[in-house]
């Protein structure tokens, strides 16, 4: 019945909505969904973008009439009806995860639990709550939502939903729950979304819908010592005296970031120079006629008002300009910030409107959910202009933005930021090596130094009084020309400090710095000057002064700022970067998941702060900037200088030396700003990479430059990505946006940018709710490697034999020839190049570095090459465990439910005759588990588990994993970071699978592959491992074959070959080879004499085959190859089957060699191996005690 309802809904939707729903229906298996999962799909919102014709379809998932809190899909459809991109976050196997039915009523206990969770006082435990149905019954809001409250105040929104509750093993249940929305005005502004379990009243999750951008303690990279603000330029910012014109705004205009970055200027009718469609009737109209309705800082897009008391009401002060001339004085030295409220509100009003108009051009329009009181019949919901509160009392050291759904007004709170400082300081500006702030002690005589934000600046000049100790300044100075208008530097000693100061004053100094003559902190110079001293004096520490004088002797100019510190206030209403940052929270919330779903950015890996930082940078950049510059965020508000690092861990820059962060960094902290700045670093790289190709266009509205292209991609990426995105979701959405906007012209550029910071082709975000489970990668898709190189090497060799490397260099360009293509390879220790073996000409050899002859590659051409290297016989792995199933399942225990592991004989073995196999059941969800019986203690340098396997498992539904138990601890799935070769590739999305939510082997391996797992994390521990096959019991296939399992202390030869062209294209390829003590791929328990011979041309025969310790034996070695005198020498090596070496002795090929066996040989099967420079042969010999 439900499935039929879904089909009916499709028939009544517009064409592109139907396309979206049909896509989910036709691809449900691929998406890990069953028919019941998509039986109740609701199109919450859909609109078509004006600039590219792409239709966004936003879908919510339901079950038995109630929405799932975590069931969303974003389907983007091209104008031709093809699906461009799918952002799938639909829940799977709902029927098996629901635990309870919804209760009949909403109880006071539910509301009380919510109040308690956010520490709000519940009005009255005995008060009766009233419930009112939601009058909006269409599909654009939760159809089950209602309002509750006390008496007549029914303002608490409640949404019944199925809430996801994690359980052990990465599974999750679906519990009936209520999302209770509570607004808290003070002491800080919050709009809480509390998810309360409908059955047991537990708090399942808690989210604040207000984006708070307060600086976290982690941000303090730039020391306070460097946080000086040069406010002296602000004297230019007073209002002009000439008569203003109608619609004049005196502001720090686009693209200035703050008062630090330039002076105020008059901007007249800014909406005319921008996008006329965005504000067609100007910034003060709300009804669509030619006369403005408001002569205050209010209009269709924003109402900028004062909110000193922080109560978020609608009665704040706004400056009135009956002539519409918003030109107000600004005093940077005002004693209280409120004295500048008119100038601050004008700037806040201007920037909110400007951002509205810019964002409108890039697609944040009425139908997309923008912020306007009147939508002028262009779609979307109106009555949602921005309340922009200046100098907000609830937001000290902070700014925030609250975004409700389309049709409800958002609020921007801009707070005051304070710097609480005290003392007297000297900041050294030059030379760079001495840059920094130092405490100084002011004299008790003379005038004081200027008080922050003012300061006294000057160059230091060492005095000369003409005596034997000229820098003491105890007599009339003989260098007054040098001293005049500078700061005199004088050493203490021999006379009073006051006398020194007066002598410098007579010479024309503007201030005096005295150098203490003893170690320790400086002390205030003393003296009774009777008003004689007219310039300030202070003392600095001896160590600092000694450093300064050394620089002066070296010819350096030392310049300093001197000032008294005090508490200073900075108004974020003047920090345009922060205004833009906050506004972007509204944009990203309305665009991700659609304008009616504004709770999509509350997952752990969401990048909300990243988009906001990017927006603040992009809207304060001009053609004079470049990507390598260090750009701080919030320098003005935080009281830093232009050169300050801002309030993030690193300033933003495309220079990795300035900002080195990569994707893996989000694992260090889930804090939203910490996560966000990683995303900004990637977007900022993208911005400048596009500028490098397409140039910078000063026209932010109609421009065609790389900056315009980058902004459009970011805005469209927000629309295309799924609800609750992670980094890979965001990257893929930007790639899709480029396909829609630019026909994919920038695909490889985008890949290169993201790969540079670890979000490359092989990167995996894991769960978007978890910041610790992602895997960074720096690789590109093959199509994006102009110069592509591939490398092949054997997975395993016998120690002492040759390795053959084969590599191919390809020019993927269709137009460009690559010249002077040179490949290089650095040989690993223990390897030597085999002269004459290269098929592309012998390389030049420089130590371990091989440089191959250069080549020219025409468009589309490839060059192949192979070469050989000799490996050292002594470099070998140690074998701790090996099992090829030839003796059955004896080393393992089958712990399966439904399916079962068994040792199978047949042609499908990787080697020998047998292999381990398991099949999933078709009757019910099953697990087939193969567990190692005897734990093994790991030692050595590099413990590695290796096995060959062949799997054919329904993608995303059935899967196989390897689990480890260390020292008896619970079983844990192996992390993808631990794989050296052939890691997991898919996440199991089928909730009916025992492995749901876990990375696993899934799909079809298309034959046997070798997987290697680094177990170094378990070094020194006793471990067991198990192979676990999970099947949903319904979807086939579910087959897993495993053979040739071994645990070794691996000796690995890493290999990397790189190629470069004269056009600066480059590429590298990596491989590795494990050195084995004996030939592999053969069952090592076979006792036939020559079963292990690696080369038929070299044979070994040990007489007798059954020997005792210390016995003298004869070893006959024969070779059918032509050998010269240099190659007749060989080495005999004796191992046990675990790879431990007991003996090495020289032997001669084609002779009988008499060998005395060591008496310390163990009893059992030993491997006798003979190695030449190019061959190996070995034989199993049984050693007995007597």
Task: Say which range, 20-29, 59-68, 143-152, 870-879, has the weakest mean pLDDT.
Answer: 143-152
How would you classify the pairing of strands 1038-1049 and 943-953? antiparallel
Confidence band of 1123 (pLDDT split at 50, 70, 90): very low
Where are the alpha helices (H) located in 436-571, listed in sequence order? 480-483, 497-506, 542-553
Q: Which domains does the chain have, with CATH numbers?
A: 2-96 (3.10.450), 108-208 (no CATH), 423-566 (3.50.30.30), 787-846+872-876+1053-1076 (2.60.40), 878-1050 (2.60.120.200), 1098-1184 (2.60.40.1930)
| Long-range CB pairs of 939-942, under 8 A, 24+ apart, other chains included | 939/1019, 939/1020, 939/1049, 940/878, 940/1019, 940/1049, 941/1049, 942/1014, 942/1016, 942/1049, 942/1050, 942/1051, 942/1052
Tokens 């191992």 locate to 1135
Phi, psi of 752 (to 5 degrees): -60, -40
1: Cβ contacts below 8 Å, ≥ 6 apart: none
The residue assigned the tokens 């409120």 is 338
Dist. CA 15–CA 82, nearest whole Å: 11
Distance (Å, rounded) from C-alpha 653 to C-alpha 919? 53
pLDDT (0 to 100) of residue 678: 98
Q: What's the mean pLDDT when you consider all of the chain? A: 87
> Rounded to an integer, what distance in angstroms lies between the CA atom of residue 538 and that of residue 363?
58
Res. 315: pLDDT tops 80 = yes
Q: How confident is the model at residue 1129 (pLDDT cuts 50, 70, 90)?
A: low
Mean pLDDT of 279-302: 94
Annotate 113-150 with b (16+ C-beta within 10 A) or e (fewer): bbbebeeeeeeeeeeebeeeeeeeeeebbbbbbbbbbb
* pLDDT score of 1078: 65
What is the pLDDT, as a whole number, of residue 1120? 59
Secondary structure element (H or E) that encloses residue 533, with its range: none
- Range with lowest mean pLDDT among 91-95, 386-390, 858-862: 91-95
CB atoms within 10 A of CB 1070: 12
Is the pLDDT at 1110 greater than 80? The verdict is: no
Question: Lowest-pLDDT range, 21-35, 176-190, 285-299, 347-361?
Answer: 176-190
Contacts of 864 (CB under 8 A, 6+ apart): 806, 807, 808, 839, 840
Tokens standing for residue 1061: 């062209």
Q: Tell me: pLDDT of 1082 over 50.
A: no
Segment 329-352 shows an average pLDDT of 93
Q: How far apart are alpha carbons 120 and 111 in whole angstroms?
A: 11
- The encoded tokens of residue 87 equal 């952002």
Q: Report residue 174 as tokens.
A: 């679906």
Statement: residue 1092 has pLDDT above 80: no
CA distance 1108 to 71: 72
Q: What tokens does 114 get?
A: 């919510």
Whether residue 639 contacts residue 645, with contact meaning beta carbons closer than 8 Å, is answered with no
772 phi/psi in degrees, rounded to 5: -110, -5
Give me the mean pLDDT over the 848-875 stretch: 95
3-state SS of 425-444 is: EEEEEECHHHCEEEEEEECC
Report, in angstroms and rounded to the nearest whole number, the Rg of the chain calculated over CA atoms: 37
pLDDT score recorded for residue 134: 73
Q: Give Cα 1145 to chain centroid, integer Å.
A: 55
Average pLDDT over residues 287-308: 94
Q: Which of 246-250, 425-429, 841-845 has the lowest mean pLDDT?
A: 425-429
pLDDT of 1017 reads 93
Is a pLDDT exceeding 50 seen at residue 808?
yes
Q: What is the pLDDT of residue 606?
A: 95
Instruction: Give the Cβ contact number of residue 575 at 10 Å.
Output: 29
| pLDDT recorded at residue 972 | 94
**CA pair distance 841, 716, nearest whole angstrom:** 51
Q: What confidence category does residue 1134 fall into, taking pLDDT thresholds of 50, 70 and 90?
A: confident
The residue-averaged pLDDT of 962-972 equals: 95
Could you tell me how far CA 972 lies from the centroid of its own chain? Answer: 25
Q: Residue 377 — pLDDT band, cuts 50, 70, 90?
A: very high
- The answer on pLDDT for 1124 being more than 60 is no
pLDDT digits (tens, 9 = 90+) for 205-258: 888 888 776 543 333 222 222 222 222 222 333 333 345 789 999 999 999 999
Which residues contact residue 929 at a Cβ distance below 8 angstroms, ignoring those fewer than 6 apart? 894, 895, 896, 901, 1026, 1027, 1028, 1029
From residue 232, alpha-carbon distances to 122, 262, 417, 439 in Å are: 51, 12, 19, 22
Percentage of residues in the chain with pLDDT exceeding 70?
A: 91
Count CA atoms closer than 13 A to 988's CA, side-chain side: 30
Is the backbone peptide bond immediately before 229 cis, with ω within 30 degrees of 0? no
And the tokens for 343? 């100038």
Cβ-contact 586, 399 below 8 angstroms: no
CA angle 400, 406, 410 (to 5 degrees): 25
Mean pLDDT, residues 646-659: 95
Contact between 203 and 119 (Cβ < 8 Å):
no
Mean pLDDT of all residues in 763-792 = 90
pLDDT, residue 316, reads: 92
What token pair was written down for 489?
């530097």
* DSSP helix/strand/coil, 82: coil
Between strands 386-390 and 203-208, the pairing is unpaired
Instruction: Flag the least confident range among 106-115, 125-134, 680-689, 1086-1095.
Output: 1086-1095
Q: Return the half-sphere exposure (C-beta side, CA atoms, 13 A cut-off) of residue 138.
A: 5
**Stretch 1086-1094: mean pLDDT:** 32
Q: State the residue for tokens 């702030």.
A: 437
Say what the pLDDT of residue 1105 is. 67
pLDDT band at 1046 (very low <50, low <70, confident <90, very high): very high
pLDDT at site 750 = 97
Whether the Cβ atoms of residue 304 and residue 317 lie closer than 8 Å to each other: no
Asked if 889 and 902 touch (Cβ cutoff 8 Å), the reply is yes
SS3 content of the chain, % helix, strand, coil (to 5): 20, 35, 45
Quickly state the pLDDT bin for 505 (edges 50, 70, 90): very high
For the entire predicted model, the pTM comes to 0.69
Q: Which of helix, strand or coil describes residue 337?
A: helix
| Predicted pLDDT at 216 | 38
State mean pLDDT over 12-34. Answer: 85
Other beta carbons less than 10 A from residue 911's beta carbon: 17
DSSP state for residue 664 in the 8-state scheme: G
In this prediction, residue 923 carries a pLDDT of 64
List the 325-326 sheet strands across, edge first.
Answer: 265-268, 248-251, 325-326
- Residue with the larger pLDDT of the pair 1093 and 1050: 1050
Residue 689 has pLDDT above 50, yes or no: yes
Query: Which of 491-495, 561-565, 605-609, 647-651 is predicted least confidently?
Result: 561-565
* 1154 CB-contact burial (10 Å; exposed 0-12 / middle 13-18 / buried 19+): exposed
Distance CA 102, CA 91 (A): 19
Residue 1171 has pLDDT above 80, yes or no: no
Going from the C-alpha of 986 to that of each of 273, 554, 578, 973, the distances in angstroms are 51, 63, 40, 14
Question: Between these two residues, 992 and 421, which has the higher pLDDT value?
Answer: 992
Which of 416-420, 470-474, 841-845 has the least mean pLDDT? 416-420
Largest Cα–Cα distance of the chain, in whole Å? Answer: 116
Band (1086; pLDDT cuts 50, 70, 90)? very low
Residue 318 has pLDDT above 90, yes or no: yes
- The pLDDT value recorded for residue 136 is 55
Mean pLDDT score, 535-548: 94
Angle among Cα 1178, 1179, 1181 to the nearest 5 degrees reads 140
With beta carbons less than 8 A apart as the criterion, state whether 612 and 582 touch: yes
Determine the average pLDDT of the residues in 1015-1019.
94
């Amino acid at each position: 019945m439900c499935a039929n309802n879904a089909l009916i809904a499709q028939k009544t939707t517009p064409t592109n909505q139907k396309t979206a729903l049909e896509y989910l229906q036709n691809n449900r298996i691929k998406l890990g969904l069953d028919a019941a999962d998509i039986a109740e799909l609701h199109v919450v919102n859909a609109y078509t973008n004006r600039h590219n014709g792409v239709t966004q379809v936003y879908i919510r998932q339901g079950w038995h009439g109630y929405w799932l809190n975590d069931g969303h899909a974003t389907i983007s459809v091209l104008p031709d009806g093809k699906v461009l991109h799918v952002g799938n976050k639909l829940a799977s196997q709902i029927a098996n995860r629901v635990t309870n039915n919804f209760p009949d009523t909403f109880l006071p206990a539910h509301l009380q639990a919510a109040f308690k969770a956010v520490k709000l006082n519940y009005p009255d435990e005995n008060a009766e709550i009233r419930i009112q149905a939601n009058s909006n019954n269409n599909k654009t809001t939760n159809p089950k939502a209602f309002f509750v409250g006390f008496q007549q105040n029914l303002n608490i929104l409640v949404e019944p939903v199925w809430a996801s509750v994690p359980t052990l093993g990465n599974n999750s249940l679906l519990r009936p729950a209520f999302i209770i929305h509570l607004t808290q005005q003070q002491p800080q502004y919050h709009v809480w979304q509390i998810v309360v379990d409908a059955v047991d009243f537990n708090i399942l999750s808690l989210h604040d819908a207000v984006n708070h951008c307060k600086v976290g303690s982690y941000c303090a990279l730039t020391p306070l010592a460097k946080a000086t603000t040069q406010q002296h330029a602000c004297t230019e910012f007073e209002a002009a005296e000439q008569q203003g014109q109608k619609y004049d705004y005196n502001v720090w205009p686009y693209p200035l970031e703050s008062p630090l970055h330039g002076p105020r200027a008059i901007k007249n009718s800014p909406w005319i120079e921008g996008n006329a469609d965005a504000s067609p009737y100007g910034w003060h109209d709300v009804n669509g006629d030619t006369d403005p309705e408001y002569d205050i800082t209010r209009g269709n897009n924003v109402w900028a008002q004062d909110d000193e008391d922080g109560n978020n009401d609608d009665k704040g002060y706004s400056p009135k300009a009956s002539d519409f001339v918003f030109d107000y004085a600004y005093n940077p030295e005002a004693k209280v910030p409120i004295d500048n409220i008119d100038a601050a509100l004008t700037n806040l009003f201007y920037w909110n409107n400007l951002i509205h108009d810019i964002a409108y051009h890039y697609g944040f329009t009425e139908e997309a959910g923008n912020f306007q009181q009147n939508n002028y019949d262009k779609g979307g919901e109106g009555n949602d202009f921005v309340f922009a509160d200046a100098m907000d009392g609830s937001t000290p050291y902070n700014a925030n933005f609250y975004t409700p759904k389309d049709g409800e007004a958002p609020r921007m709170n801009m707070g005051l930021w304070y710097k609480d400082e005290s003392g007297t300081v000297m900041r050294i500006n030059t030379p760079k090596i001495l840059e920094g702030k130092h405490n100084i002690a002011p004299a008790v005589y003379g005038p004081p130094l200027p008080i922050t934000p003012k300061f006294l600046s000057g160059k230091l000049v060492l005095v000369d009084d003409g005596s034997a100790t000229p820098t003491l300044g105890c007599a009339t100075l003989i260098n007054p020309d040098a001293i005049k208008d500078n700061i005199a530097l004088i050493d203490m000693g021999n006379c009073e400090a006051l006398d020194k100061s007066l002598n410098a004053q007579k010479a024309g100094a503007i201030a005096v710095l005295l150098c203490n003559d003893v170690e320790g902190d400086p002390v205030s110079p003393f003296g009774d000057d009777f008003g004689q001293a007219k310039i300030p004096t202070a003392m600095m520490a001896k160590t600092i002064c000694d450093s300064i004088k050394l620089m002066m002797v070296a010819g350096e100019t030392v310049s300093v700022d001197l000032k008294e510190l005090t508490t200073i206030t900075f108004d974020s209403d003047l920090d345009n970067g922060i205004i833009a940052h906050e506004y972007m929270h509204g944009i990203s919330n309305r665009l991700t998941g659609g304008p009616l779903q504004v709770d999509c950015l509350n997952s752990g890996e969401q990048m909300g702060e990243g988009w906001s930082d990017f927006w603040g940078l992009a809207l304060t950049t001009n053609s004079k900037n470049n990507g390598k510059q260090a750009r701080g965020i919030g320098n003005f508000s935080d009281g830093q200088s232009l050169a300050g690092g801002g309030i993030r861990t690193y300033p933003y820059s495309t220079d990795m030396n300035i900002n080195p962060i990569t994707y893996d960094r989000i694992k260090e902290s889930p804090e939203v700003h910490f996560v966000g700045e990683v995303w900004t670093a990637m977007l900022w790289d993208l911005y400048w990479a596009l500028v490098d190709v397409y140039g910078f266009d000063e026209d932010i509205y109609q421009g065609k430059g790389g900056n315009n292209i980058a902004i459009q991609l970011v805005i469209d990426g927000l629309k295309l990505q799924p609800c609750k995105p992670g980094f890979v979701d965001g990257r893929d959405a930007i790639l899709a946006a480029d396909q829609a906007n630019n026909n994919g012209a920038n695909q490889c550029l985008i890949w290169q940018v993201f790969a540079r910071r670890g979000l490359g082709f092989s990167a995996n975000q894991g769960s978007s709710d978890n910041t610790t489970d992602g895997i960074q990668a720096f690789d590109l898709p093959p199509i994006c490697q102009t110069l592509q190189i591939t490398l092949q090497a054997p997975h395993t060799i016998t120690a002492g034999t040759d390795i053959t490397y084969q590599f191919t260099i390809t020019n993927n360009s269709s137009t460009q020839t690559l010249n002077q293509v040179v490949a290089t390879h650095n040989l690993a220790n223990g390897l030597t190049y085999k002269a004459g073996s290269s098929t592309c000409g012998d390389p030049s050899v420089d130590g371990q570095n091989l440089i191959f002859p250069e080549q020219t590659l025409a468009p589309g051409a490839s060059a192949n090459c192979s070469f050989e290297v000799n490996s050292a016989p002594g470099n070998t792995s140690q074998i701790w465990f090996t099992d090829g199933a030839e003796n059955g399942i004896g080393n393992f225990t089958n712990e399966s439910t439904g399916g079962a592991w068994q040792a199978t004989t047949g042609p499908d073995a990787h080697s020998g005759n047998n292999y381990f196999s398991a099949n999933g059941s078709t009757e019910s969800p099953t697990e087939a588990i193969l567990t190692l019986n005897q734990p093994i203690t790991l030692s050595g340098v590099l413990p590695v588990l290796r096995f060959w396997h062949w799997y054919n498992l329904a993608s995303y539904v059935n899967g196989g994993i390897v689990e480890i138990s260390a020292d008896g601890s619970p079983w844990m799935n192996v992390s993808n970071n631990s794989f050296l070769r052939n890691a997991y590739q898919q996440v199991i999305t089928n909730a009916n699978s025992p492995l749901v939510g876990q990375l696993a082997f899934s799909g079809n391996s298309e034959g046997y592959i070798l997987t290697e797992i680094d177990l170094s994390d378990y070094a020194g521990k006793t471990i067991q491992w198990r192979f676990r096959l999970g099947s949903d019991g319904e979807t086939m296939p579910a087959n897993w074959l495993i053979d040739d399992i071994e645990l070794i202390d691996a000796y690995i030869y890493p290999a990397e070959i790189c190629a470069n062209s004269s056009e600066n294209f480059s590429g590298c390829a990596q491989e590795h080879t494990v050195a084995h003590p004996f030939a592999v791929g053969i069952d090592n328990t076979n006792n036939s004499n020559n079963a292990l011979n690696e080369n038929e041309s070299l044979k070994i025969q040990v007489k007798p085959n059954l020997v005792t310790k210390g016995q003298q034996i004869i070893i006959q070695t024969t070779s059918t190859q032509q050998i010269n005198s240099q190659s007749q020498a060989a080495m005999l090596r004796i191992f046990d089957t675990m790879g431990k070496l007991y003996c090495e002795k020289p032997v001669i090929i084609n002779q009988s060699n008499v060998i005395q066996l060591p008496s310390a040989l163990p009893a059992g099967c030993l491997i006798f191996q003979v190695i030449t420079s190019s061959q190996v042969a070995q034989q199993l010999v049984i050693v007995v005690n007597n």
